[in-house]
Amino acid sequence: MTSITRRQFSAAALALAAPSRKAWGATNIDAPRLDDTLRSSLQKRGIPTATAIVANADHVTYSGVFGKRDSASSVNAAIDSIFRIASMTKAITTTAALQLVEQGKLTLDEPVSKHLPELAKLDVLEGFDPSGKPMLRPAKTPIALRHLLTHTSGCAYANWSPTLTQYIKVSGSTPRAVAPLNPLLFEPGTRWHYGTSVDWAGKLVEQISGLTLEQYFQNNILQPLGMKSTSFLVAPEKFDRLVSTYRRQPDGKLKEDPRTQPPPPTAYNGGGGLYSTAPDYLRFTQMILRKGRGPNKEEILRPKTVELMSANQIGSIAIERLTSTDANVTADLYLGPGNKYTYGFMLNTMTSPEGRPAGTLMWAGIENTFYWIDHRRSLCAVIMMQFFPFLDPQGAGMLADFTKAVYA
Catalytic residues: 87, 90, 194
One-letter amino acid of 135: M
Say which DSSP state 241 is in. Answer: G
> How many other CB atoms are found less than 10 A from the CB of residue 268?
25
Identify which of 255, 268, 263 has the alpha carbon closest to the alpha carbon of residue 215: 268
Phi-psi region of 157 (alpha: psi -120 to 50; beta: other; left: phi over 0): beta
Identify which of 48, 14, 19, 37 has the alpha carbon closest to the alpha carbon of residue 254: 48
One-letter amino acid of 259: R
> Residue 90 — φ and ψ, nearest 5°?
-60, -40
Distances (CA, A) of 322 to 32, 161, 229, 312: 38, 7, 33, 20
Q: Bridge partners of 382?
A: 53, 371
- Cα(217)–Cα(276) distance, integer angstroms: 13
Is there a contact between 65 and 82 (Cβ–Cβ < 8 Å)?
no
- Cα(150)–Cα(145) distance, integer angstroms: 9
CA atoms within 13 A on the CB side of 65: 20
